[in-house]
Amino acid sequence: MAEVAVTTPLADSKGPNVFARLIGVIFSPRATYQAIVARPKVFGALAITIAIMAATEGAFFSTQVMREVLLDQQVKTIESFGVNINDQTYERMEQGISRAAYTTPISLVVGIPIVAAIIAAIILGIWGMLMGGTGTFKQVYAILAHSGAIFAISVLFSMPLSYATHRLAGANLAVFVPMLEETSFLARFLGAIDLFFVWWSINVAIGVGVLFKKKTGGIALTFVGTYVVVALLLAIIRSGN
């Protein structure tokens, strides 16, 4: 009697592991987000990305160079809104910066999950409730948790660059127009548009499109457009002072 082979689902077919998902979000976002929304998991991705950012920023802000860079950036930002900093305020800022190696990682650990939850609720409200899409809060939250891989890359890129240049650096559009006056409206506008954030917005749009079965283009345009409008308003406010 011929032996019949019987195939059964693999007991360990739980989808890609957390590291594969985080890498996949970078290199193959659509397929990866399909796996994520099918089995939404949050904690692992959130823990790894926050740990990378917190450890990196904590290490760099423990150096005198980066504390001076951070203080200088904070002073410039406050003064750009027309606020004069007196000696007492400056001294308090110095005291706060001296603890940046500890306070910055703590703020990331506490703040990122809360901000991600708020953004997830907004996305679910718009594309789920208002536009009739089907999805859960956990699925949206899982998308945002995994998209944090892009912010982790951003920190790994910006911190060494800031240390080397002795100024808080990033991948904003202002780097392409170094001839502009730093305090000009256009320089401030372009400086407020970070390419990593644009990448993150498009990446999340892919995940949201997969979840709610919507076209990525329209969602990405909404995300990036909102970001550009906010950057424009900030540039207008700062230029008016």
Task: Tell me what pLDDT residue 13 has.
Answer: 60
Q: Is 127 helix (H, G, I), strand (E, B) or coil?
A: helix
Which residues is 172 bridged to in the sheet? 194
Give me the chain's average pLDDT, please. 88
Residue 46 in any domain: the answer is: yes
Q: Are 29 and 207 in contact (CB under 8 A)?
A: yes
Residue 48 in any domain: the answer is: yes
Residue 3 in any domain: the answer is: no
Stretch 3-7: mean pLDDT, rounded? 38
Cα separation, 118 vs 112, whole angstroms = 10
The C-alpha angle with vertex 191 and arms to 77 and 47, in degrees rounded to 5, equals: 80
Residue 4 in any domain: the answer is: no
Instruction: State pLDDT tens for residues 173-227.
Output: 887 777 878 778 888 888 889 999 999 999 999 999 999 999 999 999 999 999 9
Residue ranges making up the domain that contains 39 = 18-77+87-239
Cα separation, 209 vs 213, whole angstroms = 5
Residue 122 in any domain: the answer is: yes
Quote the number of domains for the chain: 1
Q: Are 21 and 35 in contact (CB under 8 A)?
A: yes
Backbone angles phi, psi at 172, to 5 degrees: -95, 165
Instruction: State pLDDT tens for residues 64-87.
Output: 999 999 998 888 888 877 788 888
Task: Tell me what pLDDT residue 133 has.
Answer: 78
